[in-house]
Amino acid sequence: MSDPMAEIRASFFIECEELLEALQDGLAAMEGGDNDPETINVCFRAVHSMKGGAGAFGLEQLVRFAHRYETVMDEVRSGRLVPNSDAMVLFFRAADVLSDIVRASRDGDTMDDATIEAVLSELEALAGGAVAAEEEEEPADFQPMTLSLDFRAPPSLGADDPWTIRFEPMRELFASGNEPQHLLRALAALGKADVRCELDAVPLLDALDPEGAYLSWTIVLESPSSEDDIREVFDFVDGICTLTISGGSGAALPSLIDLPDTVPDDAESDTSESSGVGLPDRAVAGAPRITLTEPEEPQAEALLAEGPPMAENAPKPEGTPQSTNAPEPTKAKAPPAKPAGAEMGAKATAASQPKPTVRVDLDRIDRLVNLVGELVINQAMLSQSVQEANIPSNSPVSQGLEEFMQLTRDIQDSVMMIRAQPVKSLFQRMSRIVREASSAVNKRVRLVTDGEATEVDKTVIERLADPLTHMIRNAVDHGLESSDSRLAAGKSEEGLVTLTAAHRSGRVVIEVSDDGGGINRERVRQIAESKGLIPEGLAMSDGEIDNLLFLPGFSTAKQLSDLSGRGVGMDVVRSSIQELGGRISISSDPGKGTTFSISLPLTLAVLDGMVVSAAGETLVVPLGSIVETLSLRDNEIRSIGPGANVLHIRDSFVPLLDLAVALGYRSAPETYEGSVVLLITQEDGTRAALIVDTIEEQRQVVIKGLQDSYGHVPGIAAATILGDGQIALILDPVDLMSQFNTRTGAVNNTIELAG
Amino acid sequence: MGLQILAVDDSRTIRDMLKMALGQAGFDTNLAEDGLHGLEVLSGLTPDAIITDINMPRMDGFGFIEAVRSQPKHRATPILVLTTESAPELKARARAAGATGWIVKPFDPDKLVRALNTVAGPGAA
Amino acid sequence: MTDKTDTPGGTEDLELLSFKVGEQEYSVDIMLVREIRGWTRATPLPHSEDYVRGVINLRGAVLPIVDLACRLGLGTTETAERNVIIVVQIHDQSIGLLVGAVSDILSVSQNELQPPPDLVNNVENSFVKALTIVDGRMLRVIDLNAVYPNRDGVAA
């Protein structure tokens, strides 16, 4: 088991992410005109909670920033500051910085102080001087957790220089739930204590206010503790009791205020120079005199408990005038007051929380996902056996199997949903990208999001962040026109970027659109031609031109802006989407804007595939990469060199690859007449054709990685297990094409037969 | 057996830390996420002491303390306030609401346990 | 990962699973054997080494199969029903060894094991880490780490 503190620390950063999300939500609501005081409260609490946790881990920078941010928020909360839109921008920026600090802290880093100070000083300028004034005393409150406070060290006093402490509770002390008995015990824990209870002030019974305070104590304490240590014991009752501390080696008593009758112990205090000599004997006459040491003696407790009524609630059944809310210490001697069962019951109560959620180790979920994968395979195998056994479909076996299939599918869906998360966190990160990107290019941009609750596999979300970031930056940087052009085109100065997510027929569709000028197709074509990406004068549809954007190295920016030159192009975006089993498409309307649409599988654990056979081997081709299937005629094949063929289809030529040859299952046959061709989209938007023998079926397959058991196989993405229990390989068409590029037969000599 | 404690804080991290610190001291810790939840949990308990945060959703710490004190059963139950500020006004306000004492976050586990012992007795050491 | 045969001391018994590859008898430390199963057709992996016969489904896991005869330079195993796959643990993962047939479980003591003679140009020899004589037969102990070296994507 790992260090519990490290676990809490990890959990703290997860909580921070949630709090940052709540903060973003709250700020967005405020920006949208939400005046509910609870909204700013939520923001305040989010920052405040981060500060509280950060303090515990000594994350000084996070504490400091959160504190000052929170202080300005408090101004809003109290109504002293009404944020305008500029202020909201600042609050958002501060939230961004806060999120950076959280991440830096998590990774054991710190942020550049200048960046932080810049935002903070702008924030504090908003709130005016009141905030800055408060600043000075604060940092002392947020020291990281320390292990100081050892009562016994260093010794400041010899054991033979005892302290004399006089403690006289006021009635408020009892009302606050404090209990002299516990205070005295805590005091006794500092050393050897001689406690005398003074009963003089106790009135006759009929004059006795049951909630009054009549007792006082004089304690002689032999302890190396300092006066501060002693005062710390009485910290909670400061102001609701009369406390005098004297003794030590003539310890100064300036702090002893309200004490007419300070009592140095006559017997033991020899060098005391303190005032107020006399009266102890009178005070203690007839009073119980006991000595408390650690651990407490039952007798001491009993004697202490003997006193006349202390403040107490309504009459107790026991009729004991002195009793406390807490269990009597003496009860410890009695049979266990709280059986183990009570403890369990209490825990069960605590478990019934308002929004019950369970945090589960991801490994456990993955194990469950794997097991369900097994179940799906097993069920498919069973179905196949039943089919082969010629069992009639109306038999109970077949019907039972039908239900089993349905259940299996439901279980699979439910298990996949465990890994699913709303895209909200991802979208929130994008709103920051928009803020940063728009300020970098000096455009006014508004981001509108929709479908934030749409759930996608956790891994998909994580791996979507980079491509989406790039697309959003592109939309701001290249998609939207400059303010001047927008105004000239009769649009509002503020550009609009829309980010939406939705479930559509078993997939997740995420769209990024802008209301900019649309793709300048003439210019795109020119660039592609000038870079030699396409032959000059090639007839191309609008869609084909738009797809040129996905060509490696393509950039339409006239100049390198701040955002460009990051070395990421749309080709990389496309391949990251494809790695997730997704597709990306583009559509553009001149003058009105451009939309990029990403379609993704709901999960990475299963895949929609086309099961095909090639040279007797069964293979799965991801459905997402197949554009179209055709039946092949020999006269459609054109040879363009030794072993290199292209397919002539609808006035264009597509590179042709024989799958069985490419994978080394056989050498090229005499004829392809009657073979099936799968038209595949390649990474760069161009197409390729793949020859297979037959198409078996379309089905969902459970993905089994090969990487761990064997390693990477060129052209192969993963494996799966089919209904007959056999392993089938899942193709990686893009990888395959790049390995064998247009060569139908020439790969023969480089590949040895593996089977 | 140690003391039975009810700890109310909306921050999971602080709850985790309280649970760890109190658990190591042998205390039986019950947790709640805000004031209202705290009252729900309290209805099934007779804790030796209560620890509560101030800034919480639904019902804040002051409201929670008042509600606890209004129950005869808990009139004298020690209540410690967890606070990030040590400003005297806050202490005054906490006391006015009926708190017994306060702990400044980030808390030192040993000091927390000592404070609980100071207000609620030692349990069985 | 160290094999049991590396244990110092050397007098305690070692249990070996012996099996036939071609006409020769080999063995592995039985502690590394997970299970023995009948032959099923393996799905070939494109572009793999010639001794990798492909992968099979072992209760939902993808298990690579090494043709031991091929690996030892004794020619490709002609697969038949009587062939068996010995599932062994190497580098924290499982692989299947395709062998002719399993013969016996033998107990030998560590100090009966001898290092193989240092012969040059003997492919087979580089996969044998010890020899011993049992009932007059020579038994070769296979060095699994050499048979299936650690590769990409495999935790060491």
Residue A281 · residue A266 · CB < 8 Å: yes
Name the A residues in 34-73 with CB < 8 Å from any B CB.
38, 41-42, 44-45, 48-49, 51-53, 55-57, 67
- Give the model's pLDDT for residue C121: 59
Q: Tell me how far apart the terminal alpha carbons of chain B are, to the nearest angstrom.
A: 8
Give the DSSP H/E element, type plus range, for residue A458: helix A458-474
Does residue C57 sit at the A interface (CB-CB below 8 Å)? yes
Residue A91 · residue A44 · CB < 8 Å: no
What is each CA distance from A416 to A376, A412, A484, in whole angstroms? 13, 6, 48
Subunits that touch chain B (at least 3 Cβ pairs < 8 angstroms)?
Answer: A
Buried b (16+ CB within 10 A) or exposed e, C102-131: ebeebebebebbeebeeeeeeebbebbbbe
Does residue A754 sit at the C interface (CB-CB below 8 Å)? yes
Alpha helices in A32-84 (DSSP H): 37-56, 60-77
- Give the model's pLDDT for residue B24: 86
Is cis: bond before A154, omega within 30 of 0?
yes
- How many Cα atoms occupy the beta-carbon half-sphere of C59 within 13 Å? 5
Write the secondary structure of A269-322 as one string of H (helix), E (strand) and C (coil).
CCCCCCCCCCCHHHHHCCCCEEEECCCCCHHHHHHHCCCCCCCCCCCCCCCCCC
- Give the model's pLDDT for residue A172: 77
Q: Residue A523 is which amino acid? A: R
- Give the model's pLDDT for residue A321: 44
Q: For chain A, which residues score pLDDT lower than 50?
A: 1, 132-159, 250-354, 557-567, 742-755
Can you tell me the ipTM of this complex?
A: 0.84
The mean pLDDT of C61-71, rounded to a whole number, is 91
C-alpha A577/C-alpha A511 separation (Å) is 13
Instruction: Take residue A45 and report the two structure tokens written for it.
Output: 């609490």
Q: Residue A130 is which amino acid? A: A
- Give the model's pLDDT for residue A129: 57
Residue A186: which of C110, B113, B40, C114 has the closest Cα?
Answer: B113
How high does pLDDT run on average in chain B? 84
Cα angle vertex A390, ends A389, A396, to 5°? 95
Does residue A714 sit at the C interface (CB-CB below 8 Å)? yes
Residues contacting C60, CB < 8 A, separation 6+: A370, A373, A374, A377, A704, A721
C-alpha B55/C-alpha B62 separation (Å) is 9
What is residue A82's DSSP assignment? -
Percent pLDDT > 90 in chain B is 11
C-alpha A491/C-alpha A591 separation (Å) is 10
- Give the model's pLDDT for residue C3: 47
Nearest to A326 among B44, B98, B121 (CB): B121
Does residue A353 sit at the B interface (CB-CB below 8 Å)? yes
Buried b (16+ CB within 10 A) or exposed e, A358-387: eeeeeeeeeebbbebbebbbbbbbbbeebe
The mean pLDDT of C32-59, rounded to a whole number, is 90
- Give the model's pLDDT for residue A550: 82
- Nearest-by-CA chain B residue for A6: B17
- Give the model's pLDDT for residue A687: 80
* Separation in Å, CA of A585 to nearest CA in chain B: 42
Q: At which residue do the structure tokens 């800034």 appear?
A: B55
- Give the model's pLDDT for residue A260: 40
Identify the residue with better confidence: A186 or B31: B31
Residue A597 · residue A605 · CB < 8 Å: no
Q: Residue A213 is which amino acid? A: A
Instruction: Tell me which of C55, C94, C148 to substitute to probe the interface with A (most A C-beta atoms closer than 10 Å).
Output: C55
